[in-house]
Structure 1
Amino acid sequence: MNEKMNEVHQYVQGLVSSHVLVRLDNGATARGLTISIDDRCNILLVDCIYTFGTQKSLLSEMLIRSNHILFITADPYSRQEEQGPATM
């Protein structure tokens, strides 16, 4: 594995047990808690919100194949919810 791929793999593995936002190749998004990510970057999410257009679905589990992922990132909204509402 070359150095760049190793960096990407380490970043993605660091997202296990984190809330993530995944953009899919069909334009949908999935937000949820990452349970596992395998060596091919297939992702298992739990307590997932799947959004496609204006429709949202709550899913207890969702397995996303790596070839459908455009990007994955830590979910900024989940951190805000964990911290509670902002106070002035």
Structure 2
Amino acid sequence: MLSSLNKESADQGDLKNLIIASEAQFPEVTRARKAFQMEEEQLNSLIGLYRKRLGMRNLEFMSVSGITHLIELETDVKVPSNWVKYVNIVYL
């Protein structure tokens, strides 16, 4: 099992790449990685929609304390009612 761990990823806290997995050895890990990658791509594709909706061409996702895909906005920016606004961070 130890030979399946990626030491560099462990040192950096990169849980996504912690296990060196092949389809034959760890099929569950391989499937989970593919599902994670698809979800991440879907989230990343939304930034264009949010830029248009909020009228902000330079809008980018950010990460805070390990929470990804956050959007930082001024406090007076109106956001959809189903978004949660916390200080200057909007959680989707």
TM-score scaled by structure 1?
0.28
Q: In proportion to residue count, which structure has more strand?
A: 1
Q: Which has the higher contact order (CA 8 A, sep 6+)?
A: 1
TM-score scaled by structure 2?
0.27
